[in-house]
Chains A and B, each alone.
Chain A
Amino acid sequence: MSQAELAAFVQSHLRARGITAILSGGACVSVHSEGRYTSADIDLVNAYSVNRGAIRSAMQEIGFTEQARHFVHPDTPYVIEFPPGPLSVGTEPVRQIQELDFSTGTLELLSPTDCVKDRLAAYYHWDDKQCLAQAVLVARAKDADIKEIARWSRAEGMMDKFRLIRAQLSRPGG
């Protein structure tokens, strides 16, 4: 089972129990960059702050066990985490969730544009160059909405930093 298939499987199981958990972080980059970036963990944002005990029970039903703050399963190398909600990019709520269908279920994840914002937030606030590289990968692979990213960067008070990296977000010659 691929990372995306596993995430879709887990999400579908949680969804059936009323738990909304949206794929974000590095695994989201991996999906949108079509594997040009790989991540060992799967971040499913606990969008509506469901009680941890409810998540633990649901994960145990499909064979996962909790270790510290993440969940592991003997049949997969991927580690699943549930970062706290609300689902946001920087200080703004995420308005639109993308859906992708897999044989294991429907995967709900950040759109390419929100995925780029999510990675840029880490670059803006912590100067994390790895996250900038991931933002560039997704922006180029999926033609992210640069105008919208510019608007969001301004709202985050990061327009100066955005100007420095704007050219990198577009495909060369694109």
Chain B
Amino acid sequence: MLEPLLGSVSSERVLMFLFARKEGYAREIARFFATDLDPIQKQLDKLELGGVLVSRTAGRTRLYTFSPRYPFLRELQSLLERGLSFYPPELRESLVMVRRRPRRRGKPL
């Protein structure tokens, strides 16, 4: 959808995933889009190096989010929001409708 603007399918996937989910890690994004890990990791690295994303570690996982200090963040997120509205409803829903509230350890489903 936004690939011509964002440069590659992987770049769009990374940015759209993080826009919808607020944070994520390489394997999670690759798994969601059923794609190889390598191009996703490369895009995460590139976007972090460019100041668009920041990362932190949680255990052994490197979690990425948008950098709140990226000067074009508002405009980028507007573009992603608009792009997301054109996604197929099932894909949009599976990106957005994810349980975010805490789940107590040991709680039955």
A residues whose Cβ falls under 8 Å from a Cβ of B: 69, 83-86, 88, 90-93, 121-122, 125-126
Q: How far is the CA of A91 from the CA of B73 in the complex (A)?
A: 8
Task: Give the complex CA separation of A125 and B54 in angstroms.
Answer: 12
The reply to whether B49 and A86 contact each other, CB–CB distance below 8 Å, is no
- Which residues of the other chain, B, contact A84 by a CB distance below 8 angstroms? 49-51
Residues of B in contact, count (CB < 8 Å):
8
B31 within 8 A of A: no
> Does B69 contact A121, Cβ atoms closer than 8 Å?
yes
> Which of B50, B51, B69, B71 contacts A125, CB < 8 Å?
B69
Q: How far is the CB of A118 from chain B (nearest CB, A)?
A: 9
The answer to whether B68 has its CB under 8 Å from any CB of chain A is yes
The interface residues of chain A, by DSSP majority, are classed as mixed
Bound-state Cα–Cα, A75 to B71, Å:
36
**Hey, which chain A residues are within 8 Å of B68, CB to CB?**
121, 125-126
Give B residues with C-beta under 8 Å from A.
49-51, 68-69, 71, 73-74
Residues of A within 8 A of B69 (CB): 88, 90, 121-122, 125
- CA gap between A83 and B70 in the complex, in Å: 12
Q: Which residues of A contact B51 (CB under 8 A)?
A: 83-85
- State whether A91 touches B71 (Cβ < 8 A): yes
* Contact partners of A126 in chain B: CB under 8 A: 68
Tell whether, in the assembled complex, residue A69 and residue B71 are in contact, meaning their CB atoms are under 8 Å apart.
no
Contact flag A69-B49 (CB < 8 Å), given A90-B69, A121-B69, A125-B69 = yes
Minimal beta-carbon separation of B48 from chain A (angstroms): 9
Q: Which residues of B contact A90 (CB under 8 A)?
A: 69, 71
Contacts of A92 in B (CB 8 A): 71
B contact residues around A69 at 8 Å (CB): 49
Contact yes or no, A88 B49, CB < 8 A: no
B71 proximity list for chain A (CB < 8 A):
86, 88, 90-93
Distance, CA A122 to CA B73, complexed state (A): 15
Cα(A125)–Cα(B68), bound, Å: 7
Q: Which residue of B lies closest to A126 (CB)?
A: B68
Separation of A71 and B99 alpha carbons in the complex (Å): 43
Shortest CB-to-CB span from A62 to chain B, Å, is: 23
Contacting residues, chain A, for B73 (C-beta < 8 A): 91
Closest chain-B Cβ to A55's Cβ sits at a distance in Å of: 13
